[in-house]
Amino acid sequence: MNRPLKICDVSLRDGSHVIRHQFTCEQVASIARGLDEAGVHMVEVSHGDGLGGSSIQYGMSRVNELDLIRTARSVLKRAKLTVLLLPGIGTRDDLKAARDLGAEVVRVATHCTEADVAQQHISLARELGMQVSGFLMMAHMSSPKDLAAQARLMESYGAHAVYVTDSAGALTVDGARERVRALRDALQCEVGFHGHNNLSLAVANTLAAIEEGATWIDAAARGFGAGAGNTATEVLAAVLDRLGKNPGLDVFKLMDVAEELVPPVMQRPAEIDRAALTLGYCGVYSSFLRHAERAAEKFGVDAREILVEVGKRKAVGGQEDMIIEVALELSQRRAPTAS
């Protein structure tokens, strides 16, 4: 069955990690309106760690996320308002509140081996009349076969699509291709792909995913997302247009959003610096970058050393406190001993 591509721009959720969750309503309105006018199919708005994520553990939001969601709803004319929820962070009540404000799509995200914790939230989303996708994060940590088994669980709970989510930007093109193919072979529902650019492979991996049948595709204007950023929406749109696969995106309008609206908000460019490259190289969750940088500064150690150690310990989303623990241990190793 040939299904149309659906592009979800995640700038206003994944980009929250980059600016430490300090979005204003004005910024959300401006970027959401631009993306909507450019033909993006879904616009995701949430705290970086999803609904209910504003906390000391993950970072306090400047503006209540429900106000940001309400703002986005007021400017979106065509694109579907989308939110992210991580069970254990976001609750059923958070999902209901987002739905009441007009959210139409939710992505329920779990670690790639823990799909079973998403059952209640996926089922509730269906009851609320929402479109819902399962998000299997840190997909590089699971084999294609095992990932497909987890995806089947999400499909059985009612997911309209299940994502191969390269949270660490650690997948090679073959790795992305194999995982999407495994899901496509195993599922009746649609398959999605979410990439990060820590190894400079986000666009290539996304194209491979599309070739293998992924139809829910994530991207971010100017790559505005954690780590070295996500697949850049405007770049992906231009490439798809060149290939004759453009799903209705206005390439020039997306260029304008990426050039004029996003940079003043980003604070720092999406680039593959040494710490971001370490994320992909060691397979570490992309949203750990800013946490590791702060810990490195506080304890006087190299952020790369922190990320390497966190990678060795196979930390996953929700274990941000491990970063402080590792940084402290590294600083103590360097401390001079008393004579």
Radius of gyration of the chain (CA): 19
**Phi and psi, residue 250, nearest 5°:** -90, 105
CA atoms within 13 A on the CB side of 291: 28
CA distances from 287 to 49, 211, 228, 277 (A): 9, 28, 10, 13
Tokens of 108: 């329920």
Q: How far apart (Å, rounded) are the C-alpha atoms in residues 124 and 94?
A: 11
Q: Catalogue the active-site residues.
A: 17
Q: How far apart (Å, rounded) are the C-alpha atoms in residues 39 and 250?
A: 6
Burial 96-107 (b: 16+ CB within 10 A, else e): ebbbebebbbbb
Q: How far apart (Å, rounded) are the C-alpha atoms in residues 221 and 231?
A: 8
Q: What is the DSSP string of 84-145?
A: EE-BTTB-HHHHHHHHHTT--EEEEEEETT-GGGGHHHHHHHHHTT-EEEEEEESGGGS-HH
3-state secondary structure of 25: helix
Q: Using alpha carbons only, what angle is made at residue 300 by residues 295 and 304, rounded to the nearest 5 degrees?
A: 65
